[in-house]
Amino acid sequence: MIAAQGIPLVAFLAVAAVLFCIGLFAALRRANAIMVLMGIELMLNAVNINLVAFSRYSAPADAARGQAFALFVLAVAAAEAAVGLALVIIVSRRRNTIEVDKIDTLRG
Amino acid sequence: MNFGAVWPEIVVSGVGTLLVALDPFVSAARQRWFGYVCLAGLLLAGLLTLGEPVGGGSVLGGMVTLDGFSMLFRLIFLAAAALVVLLSLDFILQRGKDLGEFLSLLCFATTGAMVMAISRDVVSLYVGLELLSISSYVLAAFLRDESGSHEAGLKYLLNGALASAILLFGLSLTYGLTGQTSIPALTHGLASALHTGYAPVVWLAVGMVLAALAFKIAAAPFHLWAPDAYEGAPTPVTGYLMVVAETAGFVALLRIVDTGMGPLAAHWGPWLAGLAIFTMTVGNVTALWQRNIKRMLAYSSIAQVGYVLVGLAVATPGGVSAAIFYLVAYLFTTLGAFAVIAALSVRDPGDAITDYAGLGRRSPALAVVLTVCLASYVGIPATAGFMGKLALIGAAVHGGMAWLAVGIAVNSAISIGYYWTVARTMWVDPAPADGGAVAVSPAGATSVALTLVGVVFLGILPQAFFWLSHWAGAGILR
């Protein structure tokens, strides 16, 4: 209870919401594949802040669930980033670009 | 801990691990054996699933439930995976690719889908979803030297990861509102949170979960990634994504929205109804302009998603069981069509509809099967699709949303336009001068025959499957 003393839950949630919106904006702008991946990572970090903050302020019986969920999210995000970066490397080698809008052989 | 409940998942992921471990030690000439090992593993997992007691209780600390729904969907995923293994053997070997690696990814993806089917907790459901999705991204990019394939993989990944992040934010809010991650506990928690002054947060959470899952099942207007991913992915993978990844998306919708958010059905029902009608119309109308058969079937699959959503939108037990029946019909119809397309593209990579000219004379058997599958998509009587649409229309009328039934009928009429183009090209247009009969391997022929039997059987004797889907959907709506 020491760390959270005086800081209301809504402050954590506000940080998470702002982080989520920044990430969403970066992902939807679709400028560059790395930027999209980084935007998605920001969104996942926002999720983790939410989960950990909620678990800090929840009943003791419910607290562990949020922390466990956050750990799963971290692990899966790492796997997703690894596959994502591998695909970006393949695309950049074959096409010399990672601009999402220029990767457009498939359309119709 | 009692791991007995998840033996089928352990077997399938074990086969995946075995294949990737043996891969470096098996010469290219013997790679075909990986296919038989994989099929044996999937069969064993199916038998283990059938041997499990169906209790509806929960095991593994409440993460897993063994109800009728988890049983039926495990078997659906195993059957779809086995059919995809059969139709991919020659496709992958002919291209000189590593079959062991391909099949192990397929096993891991299938494990993920099965974990989703048995999940009773949003955490295990999310982990299953990501195991399925991440394996699918790699599968879509498997022919990485072809420009379409790696582009499909990247686009699928960027959109799929975005949808996962939105889904997680919604789920983090439901955890904050209720302190729970178990789906039955969410059912009660969310309904009471609605009346304690947190209504806007409940709506935000429901909206984010709905939008993210609409992304995953490729419902319009969240479908823009799907045609690119489906066209560019290797043909067997396209069939797998259309059937397993979309069905798994519906599993998540049924568990999280129909069960977890069931008491709010009066609020999300109309949204799903709008999504259903918009999705089927966009899918069917856009499919009319396509010249590539995979891209056409991609839009057609978007339309099918719209039909299935009708069963969820009416939020009645009849609607849920009609949706489950339609998913089974869709499995056989889609994999039948893709078995034919994969057989034709083993040697010839062209996927243009004009490549099918004169197929009726070159390979009558393949042309008949593809025609039956297209008829099933339209909903011609004596095919699986007809029975599925009948069930959905019945559910819509009984559920007080007769306008959705009209939507299905009108859309089926529109869809005749593009399915007819393919049928006419096969049966009426002359074959090219150099076009001989298409050689089909035993594995490919088996997959074609099995799907044909499925489509016709469901169309003529659907009672057993109607009963099964009713049984499986019984506990879903809360």
Which amino acid, residue B64? Answer: V
| Mean pLDDT computed over B333-355 | 89
Residue A2: pLDDT above 70? no
Contacts of B475 (CB under 8 A, 6+ apart): B56, B67, B68, B69, B259
Place of tokens 């594949």: A33
Residue B241: pLDDT above 70? yes
Share of chain A above pLDDT 90, in %: 70
**A-interface mutation test, from B149, B175, B224, most A Cβ less than 10 A away:** B175
What is residue A97's predicted lDDT score, i.e. its pLDDT? 85
Residue B347: pLDDT above 80? no
Other CB atoms within 10 Å distance of the CB of residue B310 = 30
Q: Which of residues 30-89 of A touch B (CB under 8 A)?
A: 30, 33, 36-37, 40, 43-44, 46-47, 50-51, 54, 58-59, 61-62, 65-66, 68-69, 72-73, 76, 79-80, 83-84, 87-88
* Per-residue pLDDT band at B56 (split at 50, 70, 90): low
Q: What is the pLDDT of residues B62-83, one digit of tens each?
A: 889 989 999 999 999 999 999 9
Share of chain B above pLDDT 70, in %: 99
Which structure tokens are listed for A42?
């920001």
- Residue A62: which of B155, B179, B289 has the nearest Cβ? B179
What is residue A4's predicted lDDT score, i.e. its pLDDT? 54
Chain A, nearest residue to B128 by Cα: A76
Task: Enumerate the domain spans of chain A.
Answer: 6-102
Q: What is the pLDDT of residues B252-261, one digit of tens each?
A: 999 999 999 9
Distance in angstroms (rounded) separating the CA atoms of residues B423 and B360: 9
| Mean pLDDT computed over B259-266 | 91
Q: How many CB pairs under 8 A join A and B?
A: 128
What is residue B159's predicted lDDT score, i.e. its pLDDT? 95
Using the beta-carbon criterion (under 8 Å), do B137 and A40 form an inter-chain contact? no
* Per-residue pLDDT band at B478 (split at 50, 70, 90): confident
Distance in angstroms (rounded) separating the CA atoms of residues B380 and B373: 10
Whether the complex's predicted ipTM surpasses the cut of 0.85: yes
For chain A, how big is the Rg over CA atoms in Å? 18
Q: What is the pLDDT of residues B386-403, one digit of tens each?
A: 999 999 999 999 999 999
Distance in angstroms (rounded) separating the CA atoms of residues B80 and B240: 7
What is residue B1's predicted lDDT score, i.e. its pLDDT? 58
Share of chain B above pLDDT 90, in %: 81
Q: What is the mean pLDDT of chain A?
A: 90
Which structure tokens are listed for B146?
């072809």
Q: What is the mean pLDDT of chain B?
A: 93
Residue A1: pLDDT above 70? no
What is residue B252's predicted lDDT score, i.e. its pLDDT? 97
What is residue B97's predicted lDDT score, i.e. its pLDDT? 86
Residue B434: pLDDT above 80? no
* Per-residue pLDDT band at B202 (split at 50, 70, 90): very high
- Residue B172: which of A47, A83, A84 has the nearest Cβ? A47
| Mean pLDDT computed over B116-144 | 96
Using the beta-carbon criterion (under 8 Å), do A88 and B137 form an inter-chain contact? no
What is residue A7's predicted lDDT score, i.e. its pLDDT? 85
Structurally, what CATH architecture does the domain formed by A6-102 represent?
A: Orthogonal Bundle (1.10)
Q: In a 3-state reduction of DSSP, which class is residue B195?
A: coil
Using the beta-carbon criterion (under 8 Å), do A47 and B165 form an inter-chain contact? yes
Distance in angstroms (rounded) separating the CA atoms of residues A101 and A91: 13
Place of tokens 């004379």: B361
| Mean pLDDT computed over B94-118 | 95
Distances (CA, A) of A101 to B118, B143, B440, B453: 39, 22, 39, 43
Contact with chain B for residue A19, Cβ under 8 A: no
Q: Which of B46, B56, B7 lies closest to B472, judged by CA?
A: B56
Q: Classify residue B353 by its DSSP letter.
A: G
Which structure tokens are listed for B421?
């183009």
Residue B204: pLDDT above 70? yes
Using the beta-carbon criterion (under 8 Å), do A84 and B179 form an inter-chain contact? no
pTM value is 0.95
- Residue B130: which of A62, A65, A80 has the nearest Cβ? A80
Q: Decide which of A96 and B319 is more confident.
A: B319
Lowest mean pLDDT among A84-93, B341-350, B362-371: B341-350
Residue B115: pLDDT above 90? yes
Lowest mean pLDDT among B8-17, B39-48, B353-362, B388-397: B353-362
Chain B, nearest residue to A10 by Cα: B176
- Residue B179: which of A58, A90, A106 has the nearest Cβ? A58
Residue B413: pLDDT above 70? yes
Contact with chain A for residue B461, Cβ under 8 A: no
What is residue A101's predicted lDDT score, i.e. its pLDDT? 81
Chain A, nearest residue to B232 by Cα: A106
Q: Which of residues 95-154 of B touch A (CB under 8 A)?
A: 122-123, 126-127, 130, 134, 137-138, 141, 144-145, 147-148, 150-154
